[in-house]
Amino acid sequence: MQAAAAAAAAALALTVLFNLDGLSALQSKPSTQNHEDGHTQNNETEPEQKKKKQPHIIFILTDDQGFNDIGYHNPTIKTPTLDKLAAEGVTLENYYVQPICTPSRSQLLTGRYQIHTGLQHSIIRPSQPSCLPSHMDTLPERLREAGYTTHMVGKWHLGFYRKACLPTRKGFDSFFGSLTGSVDYYSYGSCDGPGVCGYDLHEDEGVAWGHEGKYSTMLFTQRARKILESHDPAGRPLFLLLSLQAVHTPLQPPKPYIYPYRDMANVARRKYAAMVSTVDESVRNLTYALRKYGYYKNSVIIYSTDNGAQPFTGGSNWPLRGRKGTYWEGGVRGVAFVHSPLLRRRRRVSKALLHITDWFPTLVGLAGGNISQSRGLDGFDVWSTISEGKESPRQEILHNIDPLHKAPAQTMKWDADTDGDSGRLSKRRTFKKPKKKILKKQPKKKILKKQPKQRSALKLKSMKKPQTFPHRVQKPKSKLKVKPLPKKKPKPKPQTKDYAQHQSDHRFKYRSARLPPASGTSDPKSQPRVQSTLTPKSRRTTSQKQNSGSIQPNSKTQLKFHLKSKSRRTVSQHLNESQPGTSPPTPHTTLQFNPEPSQTLWDTSVQAAIRVGDWKLLTGDPGHGDWVPPQVLPTLPGRWWNLERTFPSFHKSSTHKNIWLFNITGDPYERQDVADQRPDVVQQLLARLAYYNQTAVPVYFPPDDPRANPSQHGGAWVPWVDEDEEEEGKYQGVYKKGKSSKKKRKKKRCPLCKLKSFFLKLNTGMMSNRI
- The answer for residues whose C-beta is within 8 angstroms of residue 322's C-beta and 6 or more apart is 308, 328, 329, 330, 331, 622, 623, 624, 625, 626, 670
CB 525 within 8 A of CB 592: yes
Three-state SS at 659:
strand
- The answer to whether 101 is a known catalytic residue is yes
Count how many Cα atoms sit within 13 Å of the Cα of residue 288 in the half-sphere of its side chain: 11
Q: Which of 73, 121, 157, 624 is catalytic?
A: 157
Residues 6+ apart with CB under 8 A from 523: 514
DSSP labels for 57-76? EEEEEESS--TTSSTTT-TT
Between CA 162 and CA 675 the distance in angstroms is 46
Cβ contacts of 555 within 8 Å, gap of 6 or more = none
The H or E element that residue 398 is part of is: strand 396-406
Cα(330)–Cα(99) distance, rounded to whole angstroms? Answer: 9
CA distance 521 to 519: 6
CB 460 within 8 A of CB 468: no
- Closest Cα to residue 717, out of 267, 250, 201, 366? 201
543: β partners: none
DSSP letters, 276-334, are HHHHHHHHHHHHHHHHHTT-GGGEEEEEEESS---GGGT---TTSS--TTSSSHHHHB-
Distance between CA 665 and CA 94 in Å, rounded? 10
- Helix H segments across 641-747? 679-694, 739-745
Residue among 93, 58, 83 at smallest CA distance from 280 = 83
Decide: 692 and 585 in contact? Cβ < 8 Å: no
Q: Is the dihedral of CA 80, 81, 87, 92 positive or negative?
A: negative
The count of other CB atoms within 10 Å of the CB of residue 764 is: 17
From CA 297, how far away is CA 57, in angstroms rounded?
Answer: 12
The 3-state DSSP composition of the chain as helix, strand, coil percent (nearest 5) reads 30, 15, 55
Q: Report the 10 Å Cβ neighbour count for 63.
A: 25
User: What contacts 474, CB < 8 A, 6 or more positions away?
Assistant: 492, 493, 494, 495, 500
Active-site residue, selected from the candidate residues 56, 73, 101, 339: 101
Q: Closest Cα to residue 534, out of 567, 569, 560, 562?
A: 562
Active site residue 191: no
Cα separation, 699 vs 542, in Å, equals: 10
Q: How many residues would you count in the chain? A: 771
Q: Which of the residues are catalytic?
A: 101, 157
